Each structure stands twice: as C-alpha cells, then as structure tokens.
Amino acid sequence: MSKPVVLIAEELSPATVDALGPDFDIHHVDGTDRSALFAELATAQAVLVRSATKMDAEAIKAAPLLKVIARAGVGLDNVDIKAATAAGVMVVNAPTSNIISAAELTVGHILSLARHIPAASGALADGQWKRSKYTGVELYEKTIGIIGLGRIGALITARLQAFGTNVIAYDPYITSARAQQLGVTPVTLDELLAQSDFVTIHMPKTPETTGMIGAAQLKLMKPTAFVVNVARGGLIDEEALHEALLAGTIAGAGLDVFVSEPPTGSPLLGLDNIITTPHLGASTDEAQEKAGVSVAKSVRLALSGELVPDAVNVAGGVIDPYVRPGIPLVEKLGQVFSGLAAHSPLTSVDIEVRGELVEYDVSVLKLAALKGIFTNVVSETVSYVNAPLLAEQRGVTVRLLTDAESPEYRNVITLRGALADGSQVSVSGTLTGTKQIEKIVEINGYDVEVPFAKNLIVMLYADRPGIVAVYGREFGEANINIAGMQIARHVAGGKALSVLTVDSEVPAGLLTAVRTAIDAEIMVEIDLTE
C-alpha cells in the first residue's frame, strides 16, 4: 500500500521533516513555480508552506486528494481559507510558534529607542563619534503601557518588569484578577497614553482596532514618550504618526509592521526618530523551527483522522457528522457573544447544548465557542488548542452543559456569560431546515430568528413609536443599506431589541449618533470573521 504524499513547497527545517516521520512519501517543490506546484498537488494529501506559496482557490482545485494545508507560521494571508473549507480541506498553522520571538523583538525596539542604538551605530559606521547626541534614558522606574494583555503582552510584561519598570495595561477583556496576577495596573486607554513613557500595542486587527492610535491618542502622550507596534500594521494611523513625529508630539516610534508591506515610499522611513524593521516578529531560527515542527505534528494528526487542535477552519478528528455542522455555528455565536460583551471583562461562560445533539460527544462545541469568543479579542491566531488557555489566562470559568430537553427547536446552543460589571450576556443559535441554515434565535433573553450575516447591529432601547424611522433615516443618509431587520420585545411599551443585518461596516461615529438619537441602552456592531 502506497504512503500518503506530503508535499513540502518551501524550505523548512530538517526537524520538520523528522517530525513527519517515516509514514509519508515526502515530495519537495518550489511553491512559487505554479506549474510545478500544480503538478505535485495532483497527488498530494497534505502540503506544507510558509509565506511565498499561494494556496488559493486555483491551487486547491488542482489538488483533488488534498486533506490538509499546513502553514508553518502564524499568518494565513497566502491561504484561501474559504475555498479550502468549501473543498473539505483542513487548514492548520502554528499560532504560538512566534510569541517569544515577537515579545523579544518588542523589548529590542524599546531598548533601541531608549538608547538610540541604531542611529548611534550608523553614525559610528560613518566615522562620527557623537556621544552627547545619543544620550538616552534608562528603563528603570519608567512607566510602560501595554495595550493588549494577551500571551505576547504577558511575556513582555515579565521581561520589562525585570528592568524595574512600572507596567500598566489597557485590555477591555482582561479581569482585574488576571491583571493583579501579572503584576500590572489596569487603566483606561486614555490614562495609559497619558502616563506611559513607552507604549506598545498588541491587539488583533479588527474594524474597531484599526487606527485605534490616531492623532487624538498621540496628542495625549508625553512629548518624551515612544510608541512601538510589532503586532499588526494599521493599528497605529501612519499618517497621524508621521505628523506627530515631525511635530515632536512624541519623541519617537518603533515599527515592525505596516499598512502596506513593504512600505515603499512611506514618509515614515525618512524620519530620524523612528526605528523600523521589515516584519521580523517571527524571524528567528527558533520560531521557524517551532512552526515547522508544530504543523508537521498537525499533518500527522489530520492524515490519521484524529482531532487537530491547531486547525483554523475545521476541528478534524473523530467528530460525529451530526455534530460537525454545529462547529461553524458555535464559532459565529462566540463572535456575536464577544461583541455583546465588549463593554466589560468576561468572568464566566456556559456553553449550553440542548436537544438531540446531547446523545453525541459535543465537547468540540466548547472549543468552537471559545475560539469564536476570542477570535477578535486577542492579537494571536486563536485555535482549538489555545482558546481554553486564553480563557484560563483571563480568569474565565468555562462550563459545558447539556440537556436533552429542547422545547422550541430540535437542537439549540446557547452561550451565556457573566461579566465583571455584574451584567450577563447570552446568545443562542440553531440550524434550521434541510439546508441547515445557521440562525440566531435569542439575544439577552429576547427571542429572534435572524440568519447570520457579516455585519450585524444589535440595539436595545425603550419601545415607542417612530424609533425605526429614526435609525432607518440615519443609516439611509449614511448610505448604509439595511438588508434585514427583526424587533423583539417582552411587553408593549417596555424595552425592544432590534437586530439589523447591513451590507457594509458602520462607522463608529454613526453608531454613536444613532445611539444618541434613539437613547439606546445597547448599540453594538458585530463584524463576523470568516
């Protein structure tokens, strides 16, 4: 019997090949040569890539036997996840392979800014001995502000505390107990910017976080302060940063990531108070080897039919076909849940499964719920293996509850959570009809029946005449098309919950205006990530 073909499309470490073991027929190809790649894909059951090989819809179509695409790294920009999922191909990556490397590079940027290391080295190379020009500052007793206290943020905290610094942090999803455990002081974003001598940002890139450090935020910083971004390009408004650096609003910046990469022609590159590196966060021998070994192990699991914790689109493993359609449903419910819960840190969450599903092993639905909850909350890629760890690190208690009784639907899954401010959030979903359409059927105790859409708006307000006309006019004048709408209430004249599906993202300023116009208690936009 022939061995499964595993195709390595880019140069990976010998340890990666060793981790695959002797059970596979390993082929090698230059993944940038499309014709050679397609020829090899014809017989491949797995393909391992880094960043140069494009596993797009065309490449996936050329691989009829393909079961798994493994990206030896964190980013997945070169893999068409939607096309892979449609073809039944698992996509895996190595979400934790670079966290130490990224943390250390961040510290390197901070030290380089504090002591002018790159500029001083360049001057000396030019024969200039300018000790007084490059007088720097100590990190000792300085205040470090960390925006985003996930795994990388926690690693940076530990390293900078060793310098005798005072670490403060802004993370809307972290509990005070977790902050205390890490030895940091939780503050608001404005407080962090005003107090910090060094600011480093470690947030995921979402519509809400893109440009979160703009002109207004930079003006809050000390003129002696520095800002560092080794996370995602675009979290800092580059035009605003350029103006702030020119005007001396802040002392300097360190960037490893950019809106457009490479940042050819960026005016930031010509400034003498900025340090730049070409996206080196994962560029260490150790991170590359960890990534290769990690995905090699995932390939082995995938091809042997076992659960693959680092799968980003399907869980794999021995999951009953009756349970499997619930996985993407629950991941979407998790994203809706986190959008509704964004106003306060989450302290506990229950995943309640009701109906015929409880006759099967539904433990994967707990992983899917946590994966969805943290997808747009943390900077690192969330998978089935690290999602429970992310919950544990944040002090979130998680339970999976099952009940065979489901009065209204054959099966219904509810995510119900308690928040630090004492409030509760819940969202329920089900699959309906022969086509198994995913629908939201409850939000915070209000019964609805809304198909999922990429852009959702949830509003809670006092039920009274004319409200629909008000927000309909506001969205219409802003050229935001409402594709669908449902209103739910318990009693006439009480509170009403509206769920809108819209065709495009809604600017934050418009949401604020609509909230004020209708005096809404809740007004959130939730943009689902596929």
Inform me whether the pLDDT recorded for 315 exceeds 60: no
pLDDT of residue 247: 96
pLDDT of residue 530: 67
Q: What's the mean pLDDT in 146-164?
A: 94
Q: Which two tokens stand for residue 432?
A: 């309906």
Concerning whether 505 is annotated as a catalytic residue, the answer is: no
- Reported as a single tens digit per residue, the pLDDT across 377-414 is 887 667 766 788 788 888 899 999 999 999 889 999 99
- Reported as a single tens digit per residue, the pLDDT across 464-482 is 999 999 999 999 999 999 9
């996936």: which residue's tokens?
Answer: 60
pLDDT of residue 317: 52
For the chain, give the mean pLDDT: 91
The DSSP secondary structure of 238-295, one letter per residue, reads HHHHHHHHHHTSSSEEEES--SSSS-TT-GGGG-SSEEE-SS-TT-SHHHHHHHHHHH
50, 178, 202, 232: the catalytic one is: 232
Q: How far apart are CA 350 and CA 353, in angstroms?
A: 10
Q: What's the mean pLDDT in 7-23?
A: 91
pLDDT of residue 319: 66
Task: Specify the higher pLDDT residue, 28 or 87.
Answer: 28
Q: How far apart are CA 529 and CA 280, in angstroms?
A: 26
Q: What's the mean pLDDT in 486-500?
A: 91
Q: Could you give the 3-state DSSP secondary structure of residue 402?
A: strand
Inform me whether the pLDDT recorded for 493 exceeds 80: yes
Concerning whether 352 is annotated as a catalytic residue, the answer is: no
Inform me whether the pLDDT recorded for 117 exceeds 90: yes
Closest CA to 314 of 86, 162, 42, 146: 86
The DSSP secondary structure of 318-352, one letter per residue, reads S--TTTTTHHHHHHHHHHHHHHHTTTS-EEEEEEE
Q: What domains are defined for the chain?
A: 1-95+283-318 (3.40.50.720), 99-276 (3.40.50.720)
pLDDT of residue 100: 94
Q: What's the mean pLDDT in 437-444?
A: 94
């940042």: which residue's tokens?
Answer: 263
pLDDT category of residue 212 using cuts at 50, 70 and 90: very high
Q: In this structure, are residues 354 and 389 in contact, taking their beta carbons and an 8 Å threshold?
A: no
- Reported as a single tens digit per residue, the pLDDT across 329-372 is 999 999 999 999 988 899 999 999 999 999 988 988 998 899 89
Inform me whether the pLDDT recorded for 318 exceeds 60: no
Q: Could you give the 3-state DSSP secondary structure of residue 506?
A: coil
pLDDT category of residue 375 using cuts at 50, 70 and 90: confident
- Reported as a single tens digit per residue, the pLDDT across 226-263 is 999 999 999 999 999 999 999 999 999 999 999 999 99
Concerning whether 261 is annotated as a catalytic residue, the answer is: yes
Q: Which two tokens stand for residue 479?
A: 């050229």
pLDDT of residue 249: 97
202, 279, 354, 416: the catalytic one is: 279
Inform me whether the pLDDT recorded for 1 exceeds 80: no
pTM to 2 decimals? Answer: 0.71
Q: How far apart are CA 150 and CA 173, in angstroms?
A: 9
Inform me whether the pLDDT recorded for 321 exceeds 80: no
Closest CA to 244 of 219, 261, 263, 272: 219
Establish whether the linkage from the previous residue to 262 is cis, with ω within 30° of 0.
Answer: yes
Q: How far apart are CA 60 and CA 452, in angstroms?
A: 27
Task: Specify the higher pLDDT residue, 5 or 378.
Answer: 5
Inform me whether the pLDDT recorded for 434 exceeds 70: yes
Q: How far apart are CA 19 and CA 41, in angstroms?
A: 21
Q: What's the mean pLDDT in 415-424?
A: 94
261, 286, 408, 505: the catalytic one is: 261
Q: In this structure, are residues 46 and 302 in contact, taking their beta carbons and an 8 Å threshold?
A: yes
Q: In this structure, are residues 350 and 402 in contact, taking their beta carbons and an 8 Å threshold?
A: no
pLDDT of residue 365: 92
